[in-house]
């Protein structure tokens, strides 16, 4: 269900060459960046952007993502990213997204949980301390039902090590959420990547990671009638601590 049009923030963008992968389709990481940019700009209009929060030693962190890719846009296409928010229990921002093309066709939908935390200890803070009452109306009491429990790999079919680069960090000095998905997809074999495209992407973030740390990305591929499903676990501390869990369903390329 769409909200009141006055509560929707809309960002216009073009699909540039740098956002495309080897198949000429929008990269998964590019989709995540479009969503994050739109949400961040919307937060700025409310006075709670990442820069606003940094002055209070606070930060936004994303705990969950759910993305459905219906029809990836192509190079030079014009798109609109729409986002709106629902506060949940005065602690979470349930962020809704949709990307539409120039024909008003819905090509990507997504949801995410954003949490405002203290940078010093990572503990959540009440949204009411920084947002007025008119931004805290409760519209979706069952918001957590949007997100499913994700499965970790039962076996490791593919594994790759990574070391966190300065380029991977965001304003909060920890790894940007899109990088975890990039690490997961990087373990997918070329034959799968060339013949299939991601249809749904579900992510749960467990812990932060920082510059210089060693990361391991582990993947299991499960064949189904509809197409492959991949289960990913991103691990730190020499493979002993799970940082993120990602499940992706793939469908044949057109």
Domain edges within the chain: 5-146, 158-252
Confidence of residue 182 (pLDDT cuts 50, 70, 90): very high
Predicted confidence (pLDDT) at residue 83 exceeds the cutoff of 60: yes
Predicted confidence (pLDDT) at residue 77 exceeds the cutoff of 50: yes
| Cβ within 8 Å of residue 103, ≥6 positions away | none
Q: How far apart are CA 200 and CA 104, in angstroms?
A: 21
State residue 91's pLDDT score: 77
pLDDT-above-90 percentage for the chain: 60
Q: What is the pLDDT of residues 130-145, one digit of tens each?
A: 776 666 665 554 545 6
The CA R_g of the chain, rounded to the nearest whole Å, is: 18
Mean pLDDT of 234-242: 86
Predicted confidence (pLDDT) at residue 104 exceeds the cutoff of 80: yes
Q: How far apart are CA 247 and CA 36, in angstroms?
A: 20
Predicted confidence (pLDDT) at residue 52 exceeds the cutoff of 70: yes
Confidence of residue 73 (pLDDT cuts 50, 70, 90): confident
Q: How far apart are CA 234 and CA 194, in angstroms?
A: 23
Predicted confidence (pLDDT) at residue 116 exceeds the cutoff of 90: no
pTM of the model: 0.90
pLDDT-above-70 percentage for the chain: 92
The CATH number of the structural domain formed by 5-146 is 3.10.129.10
What pairing do the DSSP bridges indicate for beta strands 58-69 and 92-101? Answer: unpaired
State residue 68's pLDDT score: 96
Reported as type and span, the H/E element at residue 31 is helix 28-45
Give the lowest-confidence range in 4-8, 85-89, 109-113, 152-156.
4-8
Q: How far apart are CA 187 and CA 71, in angstroms?
A: 24
CA proximity to 191, closest of 16, 34, 23, 9: 23
Q: How far apart are CA 9 and CA 41, in angstroms?
A: 8
State residue 143's pLDDT score: 47
In the numeric block, the tokens 């080897």 are attached to 22
Mean pLDDT of 220-246: 92
Find out whether 161 and 183 touch, Cβ atoms under 8 Å.
no
- In this chain, the answer to whether the domains covering 5-146 and 158-252 adopt an identical fold is yes
Predicted confidence (pLDDT) at residue 157 exceeds the cutoff of 50: yes
Q: In the CATH hierarchy, which fold is given to the domain comprising 158-252?
A: Thiol Ester Dehydrase; Chain A (3.10.129)
């Amino acid at each position: 269900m769409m909200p009141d049009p006055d509560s929707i923030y809309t960002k216009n963008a073009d699909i540039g060459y740098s956002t495309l992968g080897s198949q000429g389709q929008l990269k998964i990481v590019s989709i995540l960046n479009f969503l994050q940019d739109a949400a961040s700009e919307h937060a700025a209009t409310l006075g709670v952007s990442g820069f606003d929060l940094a002055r209070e030693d606070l930060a936004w962190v994303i705990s969950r993502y759910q993305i459905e890719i219906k029809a990836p846009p192509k190079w030079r296409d014009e798109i609109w990213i729409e986002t709106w928010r629902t506060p949940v229990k005065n602690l979470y921002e349930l962020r809704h997204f949709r990307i539409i093309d120039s024909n008003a066709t819905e090509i990507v939908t997504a949801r995410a949980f954003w949490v405002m935390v203290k940078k010093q200890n990572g503990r959540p803070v009440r949204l009411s301390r920084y947002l007025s009452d008119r931004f805290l109306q409760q519209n979706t009491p069952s918001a957590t039902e949007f997100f499913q429990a994700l499965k970790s790999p039962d076996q490791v079919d593919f594994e790759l090590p990574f070391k966190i680069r300065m380029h991977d960090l965001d304003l909060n000095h920890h790894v940007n959420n899109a990088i975890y998905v990039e690490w997961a997809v990087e373990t997918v074999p070329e034959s799968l990547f060339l013949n299939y495209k991601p249809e749904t992407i579900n992510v749960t973030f467990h812990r932060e990671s920082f510059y210089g740390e060693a990361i391991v990305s582990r993947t299991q591929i499960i064949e189904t009638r509809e197409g492959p499903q991949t289960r990913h676990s991103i691990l730190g501390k020499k493979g002993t601590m799970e940082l993120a869990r990602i499940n992706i369903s793939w469908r044949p390329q057109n």
